[in-house]
Amino acid sequence: MKVTVTGSSGLLGSALVRALRDDGARVVRLVRRVPRGDDEAFWNPAKGVVDQAALEGAGAVIHLAGAGIGDRRWSEAYKREVVDSRVEGTRTLAAALAGLAAKPPVLLSGSAIGFYGDTGDVAVDETAPAGAGFLAQDVVVPWEAEAAPAEEAGIRVVTLRTGLVLSGRGGMLARILPVFKAGLGAPLGSGRQYWSWISIDDWILAVQHLLKNPEISGPVNLTAPEPVTNAEFTKALGAALHRPTMPLAVPGFVLRTALGGFAEEGVLTGQRVLPRRLLDSGHAFRHTRLGEALAAVL
């Protein structure tokens, strides 16, 4: 089967491409530079340009492109980049797919659990409405909406509301490992905010599950069944590394100074998100407990 992938150079995209190829799929990567082989094709989402030959006749399209939400301090310019990279990319891809003669049966389109805003202690699933704040209202809601033309053209669209992906090779976990290895890991802010996590292996298995189950469409939470508080996450990571953690939390004002708006919405608030649709569809997680997942990815 031919599978076309955007965002293939990122943490999730690169791991998924390897897994798809191991399963025998012919993967075509959409890239924003001159293609270097038959397995690459050009697109420029900002200009609405995409090589339609890379999409024509594909068995699936998986769209993961977008600027990293926590990669840089949230200046107004970077917030605009976060929004534009998702909205423009999804708009370009959905319009191209809708115009194809041989449309792919399914589009898996990236999204995030930031859709739910700060849920506090309340557990939410895919039936919950959008929350408040920049991530929910300015990023995720318009991001998901741009996939509508593909759905209206008869393509099954699944939006991948992804939580905190655990991998020792990149992402948030890899960035904080040096601090924890030095014995300086500590809760952030109150430590009571929930972090809804998923191991990278389970994220890949979930995507493969969604590809193979044509009855599933719409939003799907890609999180493990047991979210934890930030304080619990801190304790578990210290234990996995056999290192002590600091008893005092990092104050919120320090995080706000260092990270800007990302501290407020990405670190100090949280989402207690459950993967209801994955569980109801019979998907089996490899790692349901945080300690097991950390041991696996580290």
Whether the CB-CB separation of 269 and 139 falls below 8 Å is answered with: no
Phi, psi of 54 (to 5 degrees): -75, -20
User: Could you read off the pLDDT tens digit of each residue along the chain, which spans 298 residues?
Assistant: 999 999 999 999 999 999 999 999 999 999 999 999 999 999 999 999 999 999 999 999 999 999 988 777 788 999 999 999 999 999 999 999 999 999 999 999 999 999 999 999 999 999 999 999 999 999 999 999 999 999 999 999 999 999 999 998 888 888 889 999 999 899 999 999 999 999 999 999 999 999 999 999 999 999 999 999 999 999 999 999 999 999 888 887 677 766 666 666 777 889 999 999 999 999 999 999 999 999 999 9
How far is it, in rounded angstroms, from Cα 213 to Cα 281? 9
What pLDDT does 89 receive?
A: 97
Task: Classify domain 2-165+197-223+274-280 by CATH number.
Answer: 3.40.50.720
What pLDDT does 259 receive?
A: 65
* 30 membership: H or E segment, kind and range: strand 26-31
Domain ranges in the chain are 2-165+197-223+274-280
What pLDDT does 95 receive?
A: 97
Residue environment code for 134-147, b if the CB has 16+ CB neighbours within 10 A, otherwise e: bbbebbbeebbebb
pLDDT of 105-149, one tens digit each? 999 999 999 999 999 999 999 999 999 999 999 999 999 999 999
Helix (H, G, I), strand (E, B) or coil at 139: helix
**What residues contact 120, with CB distance under 8 A and at least 6 apart?**
272
What pLDDT does 261 receive?
A: 66
Tokens 């704040």 locate to 133
Residue by residue, DSSP assigns 159-198 as: EEEE-EEE-TTSHHHHHHHHHHHTT----BTTS-SEE-EE
What pLDDT does 234 receive?
A: 95
Q: What letter represents residue 122's amino acid?
A: V
User: Please, which residues bridge with residue 257 across strands?
Assistant: none
